[in-house]
Amino acid sequence: MKQQPRRAEVIGGGVGGLTAAAALARQGWSVTLHERDPEIRAFGSGIYLWSNGLAVLDRLGVHDQVIDGAHYGQAIETRNNHNTTLASIPVNGAGGVKVLTVLRENLINGLVDAGRAYGVEFETGSAAVAVTPEGSVTFESGRTVSADLVVVADGINSRLRDGLGLLSRRRSIGQRCARVLIDRAPGLVPDADEANYVEYMSGKRFLLYTPSSATQVYIAFVCPTDDTSAQGPVLPRNQWISSFPHLRPLIEATEGKLRWDEFEQTELRSWSSGKVAVLGDAAHAQPPYLGQGGGCAMTNAFGLAHAVSHTNDSLAVGLAQWEATERPLIEHTQRFSCRVARLNNVPNLPRTALMTVLSKSSALGRSRLRAATSVPTGFSA
């Protein structure tokens, strides 16, 4: 008699949940992914894909689809309030660090297609309200299902995680960010900068310029939570021009309504409870200064699928092995990203001096790129 495949219920249709669903189905699990919203969609912005995330996409069979139309910069640069370059990391050269940027919807759509190709069942408008360590999931409709594994990837405000009592720490970084896509056009930045990824710092404000395709640029505006004059449903352009006068054309091109998101860090006592595993922002949220929120979610989800599928022991042993393998690298990335966030609070002059010194440290550069250049667990499986 043919053995029935093990069953997994995945909660959350973001990067982590979609990766987990596709990776588990690829390993032979019967998977249903539940998304609270009526459809699975991306919040409009760009996203950085480094070697670790690209390796996952390759194994899921959607690498070429996701990177179609991607932008390949030549360097990642950090500038001070005088537009002086403090640090520059060459990328995408022969034998160097590889990173490209795509529209977030490209990534989401690719992961959905990967899930479909491996047989994932998608249920939208399906809001989970409770899970138990025994593998039971209860939905808003009153329906309850049971599974061999439940993956909780429903974001930083996860009620499911909190219901399991796993949260150890959740703290605000004290910064907010608005992300926007604008049309890519000549003159937004100097020609020499147009193709690169540039981080601009001025006072406690931060602006990230990211070409994400041949036609669109992703911009992130970051300021302290209490800097209310810099925030609003429509960008207060004069405030940002006063901090970045050399970026006037770029700032003036920003239109439409904005959503300001709080930067937070989450840590759990354990990433699992019984038959439930938690990943993504629900487990290891971090400020996005290393561009590794998505990459960490993808590699952790892929590692989870490998760990629970390639063990001769119980699920509990597989989950413990998964956490022991993945957690050190992700927590290193969280800590590093939080330290970078604190640089926004350093006054311009000492920050310029500090970053000039730090940029010369090869060890620091390797530490910054540690997660981005790592090979995901189970890559050969």
Domain boundaries, the chain: 7-69+100-171+265-343
Give percent of the chain above pLDDT 90. 89
Question: What is residue 116's predicted lDDT score, i.e. its pLDDT?
Answer: 98
Q: From CA 253, how far away is CA 257, in angstroms rounded?
A: 13
**Total-model pTM:** 0.96
For the segment 359-374, what is each residue's pLDDT rounded down to a tens digit? 889 898 889 889 888 8
Question: What is residue 80's predicted lDDT score, i.e. its pLDDT?
Answer: 95
Long-range CB contact pairs, 95-99, < 8 A, 24+? 97/50, 97/51, 97/369, 97/372, 97/373, 98/50, 98/51, 98/54, 99/48, 99/49, 99/50, 99/51, 99/73, 99/197, 99/291, 99/372
For the segment 192-246, what is each residue's pLDDT rounded down to a tens digit? 999 999 999 999 999 999 999 999 999 999 999 999 999 999 999 999 999 999 9
Question: What is residue 97's predicted lDDT score, i.e. its pLDDT?
Answer: 87
pLDDT, the chain, mean: 95
Which CATH architecture is the domain 7-69+100-171+265-343 placed in? Answer: 3-Layer(bba) Sandwich (3.50)
For the segment 257-306, what is each residue's pLDDT rounded down to a tens digit? 999 999 999 999 999 999 999 999 999 999 999 999 999 999 999 999 99
Whether residue 85 has pLDDT greater than 90:
yes
